[in-house]
Structure 1
């Protein structure tokens, strides 16, 4: 359970880092309070992801010990991508850097992942 919580907290940090970097790279919503918004969201996201990971681990406790972390990793992966799509790419927001398109998805984000 502790490992799941730590993995969830790490996934929350990853989600915040990805979203912050995307906003800063595209200059979409970063100067207009985006940095402060990410700072305020940080503890909520980290704790939320950790709690979600612990709940999923608890629900999958009947699985073989080697397979218990698979649902946790899958759920956390979906949560990170969802958070990036919702908070990291502000579609329609006027990005000023000129490095991203109108959808504010940075070019370094893999095209096969939703955003």
Structure 2
């Protein structure tokens, strides 16, 4: 899509865009609920891989909950003091351990992929 301009159209209920990547953006529905939306239909394969990974992982307190494709993802929001950020760092390390213990290999772990 070199040279193309992408103008996101907000799905019903999305108040604003909070983050974006190469294939999708995340929009806020309310304080606790976010929706991941693809720029184009060509990006569905990556979303299906992500959905499969989340189903494989199952429930873990600080990993997003897959509510269904085309529906909503959950996220905790808010600012925190330094102690809270240290706690989140430990929690993120635990999440990575959980992912690897279930034999899922995530090759793109970085701050932008953590929902804190």
TM bucket, shorter chain: under 0.3
Higher-Rg member (1/2): 1
TM-score by length of 2: 0.25
Higher helix share: 1
**Higher relative contact order (Cα pairs below 8 Å, separated by 6+ residues):** 1
TM-score by length of 1: 0.25
